[in-house]
Amino acid sequence: MIHALRYTEELEKVGFTPEQAKKSVQLWMDLMDQNFATKADFKEHYFMTKADMQALQFDMKDLRSELQTDMKELRSELQTDMKELRSELQTDMKDMESRLQVDMQNIRIDLKSLENKLTVRLGIMMAASIGIISTIVNFKH
């Protein structure tokens, strides 16, 4: 922008009218102002980026803290759930053991009953056999 006068003079030297030279330089100056970045623009962007990075770091620290808190809560909930599950399993196992003992006792009683029935039948069969054999022996004599 400082060299606008010099650019105008250069254009006039190559054949532009003073009005054409001024208008051409003015158009180029407007174009550069709107589309080109200056050192000041870069510095401003650098500081904005640096500030954005610092804000991002703070946000990430906050997120990390939140994640750690959430993970502790989840771990605690999981431990509580596992304790409850372990307790339920122990209760179920005790119930099953109790039912199994009752079933085993019933099986023992049933086996004892069968044993007694078989003993009685075997005794009856032996008595009948002895009676039949004695009858057969008595008839032969």
> What is the residue-level pLDDT of the chain in tens, covering all 141 positions?
457 888 888 888 999 899 998 898 888 888 877 778 778 877 777 777 788 888 889 999 999 999 999 999 999 999 999 999 999 999 999 999 999 999 999 999 999 999 999 999 999 999 999 999 999 988 876
- What per-residue confidence (pLDDT) applies to 90? 97
**40 token code pair:** 């000041």
d(CA 141, CA 137): 7
d(CA 37, CA 24): 20
- What per-residue confidence (pLDDT) applies to 131? 92
Element (H, E) at 7: helix 4-13
d(CA 120, CA 100): 30
Count of beta carbons in the 10 Å neighbourhood of residue 21: 19
Contact status, residue 31 vs residue 4, Cβ threshold 8 Å: no
- What per-residue confidence (pLDDT) applies to 141? 67
CA distances from 94 to 80, 91, 122 (A): 21, 5, 41
d(CA 66, CA 78): 18
d(CA 121, CA 91): 45
pTM: 0.43
